[in-house]
Structure 1
Amino acid sequence: MLPQAVLLDLDGTLVDSESFHTEAITRYMASRGVALEDRERAFVIGHAWQEIHAELKVQERLGDDLPAFLAGAHEAKASLRAEGIDIQVLPGARELVALLVELNVPVSIVSGSSRAEIEEALVSLGFGEQLRFWLGAEDYPNGKPAPDCFLKAAGMLEVDPAGCLVFEDSHAGIGAGLAAGMRVVATSATILPAGTPGHQDQSRAHRIVPGLEGIDADFLRAVMQG
């Protein structure tokens, strides 16, 4: 059977933005006199803004509350874009959404990025109107690996979490999907080699694919059947 709904992560799954995201945060913190350790840079991958703000101790180190931290990071992103550095749409992303629309499977983005960042990415992706909705960090209380975001999406779609299929790249995101009782496909298109800072353990996912290219209805059915 096909999934009742498909929930897509954004960063590292649909777009290659996590290195861009990490560099922006690193630059902003450095501009305020704080050099991030490799461990802290690695934590940024797959986590929502509220978790990043807490883990990096931004309030204590900079005196920034979450909105101020977001504003500073967005300014750093604008600076990166001025240098010609930006997110990249990953191969197969547009084709997967088109397939789901053709199959009449509801599809939404569920991300730890802010809603503003999701909307920026959708300009590049070009399929915002085909999504039922998108959820960002402001839309749920606890970020991945907590299941809140995926459970909220299932509730909004009025579907059983067990009938949902999640596409993720990060260890935290995979954990969130599993904690929500959903089937999870991990895409390794942007995963760093094992042993390097920022590497994501994807071993708990039901399936691991090298990217989104070539995914078809038979694959979706096979994942849902176990």
Structure 2
Amino acid sequence: MTLEAIIFDMDGVLIDSEKFYMESEQLILKSFGIEVEALHFRKYCGTTQDYIWSHIKEEFDLPVSLEELKEMAPVYLLKLFKEKGVELIPGVEKLVTNLAKSPLKTAVASSTGKVLIKEHLTGLGIASCFDTLQSGEEVANSKPAPDVFLKAAEVLNVDPKNCLVIEDSRNGVLAAKAAGMTCIGFNNLNYPPIDIKEADEIITDMSVLTIEFMKQVFSQAKE
């Protein structure tokens, strides 16, 4: 087997956006008179809006429907994005620029909606570095199901076994492994660590992800 494609999650891997999701969830709870630390919502990183809000609604016994919460969420989130701005994770620009010049194929496979994926990556100047952008809203099952990763491999015309995924959430790592892909987990030291022990390799600095390093991890995982 030969490494043919690198597939990235977006939030928390390419862009430092997870903090905005957590803050928006905190603000929505505050609108109901409930005070919770933003980091309480760290456990929902890498999951869908349906999953997040159904669990938050149940946990805090919120007096509105799931659909109403899902309508509120993007309003708060987009306001934070606009006010504070999203930045690339350090090391990402150099990594994806080098990959774009290499024979390796590249994809983004994120639980985030397609419009927001395109908006973020275009605004940050790296959308053209990827061969395809895939959203969890375009497949039947969200992470930890492997669907979005398998869809990315299909569009790239690459065997899933020849793909390496970069993920930062437990659900994302589980999805990558369920797809039969090698996975490097990223634990950002700016946030409390997430349990991603199922990853083939765990890093805390995106700048270590050279093409040579990724090929080495892939080879070791296949031994």
In the superposition, the TM-score normalised over structure 2's length comes to 0.85
Q: Is the 8 A contact 2:185 2:203 kept in 1?
A: yes
1 CA distance for matches of 2:189 and 2:74?
A: 22
Residue from 192, 195, 203 that aligns with 1:209: 203
Q: In 2 relative to 1, CA 50–136 (structure 1 residues): closer, same or farther, beyond 3 Å?
A: farther
Contact 1:12 1:190 (C-alpha < 8 Å) held by counterparts: no
**Counterpart AA for 2:199:** A
Equivalent position of 2:79 in the other structure: 79
Show the counterpart of 2:162. Answer: 163
Letter in 1 for 2:55: E
Alignment of 1:54-203 (within 5 A): 54-57=54-57, 61-65=63-67, 69-81=69-81, 84-190=83-189, 192-193=191-192, 199-203=193-197
Provide the residue aligned with 2:53 in structure 1.
53
- 2:22–2:38 CA contact under 8 A, matched in 1: no
Matched residue type, 1:166: V
For the aligned residues, what is the CA RMSD? 2.5
CA positional deviation for 1:200: 0.8
Secondary structure (helix, strand or coil) at the match of 2:207 reads: coil
- Superposition deviation, residue 61 in structure 1: 4.0
Q: Deviations over 1:119-154 (max 9, x none)?
A: 232134311122122122311122111111111111
Distance 2:218 2:92 in 1: 20
- Structure-2 change in CA distance of 1:130 and 1:31 (3 Å): same
State the 1:173 CA deviation.
0.7
Query: In the alignment, what sits opposite 1:196?
Result: none
Distance 1:22 1:213, change over 3 A: same
**Percent identity, aligned pairs only?**
29
Q: Provide, for residues 63-103 of structure 1, a one-character-per-residue CA deviation record: whole Å limited to 9, x for no partner.
A: 242xx544422221243346x42322111111111121111
Asked if 1:15 is matched to 2:9, the reply is no
For the residues of structure 1 that align with 2:14 and 2:37, how far apart are their CA atoms?
A: 27
Aligned to 2:43: 43
Between the aligned partners of 2:142 and 2:81, the Cα distance in structure 1 is 27
CA 1:25–1:119 in 2, change beyond 3 Å: closer, same or farther? Answer: farther
Within 2, Cα distance between the matches of 1:105 and 1:70? 37
Assess, with a 3 A threshold, how the Cα gap between structure 1 residues 19 and 38 changes in structure 2: closer, same or farther.
closer
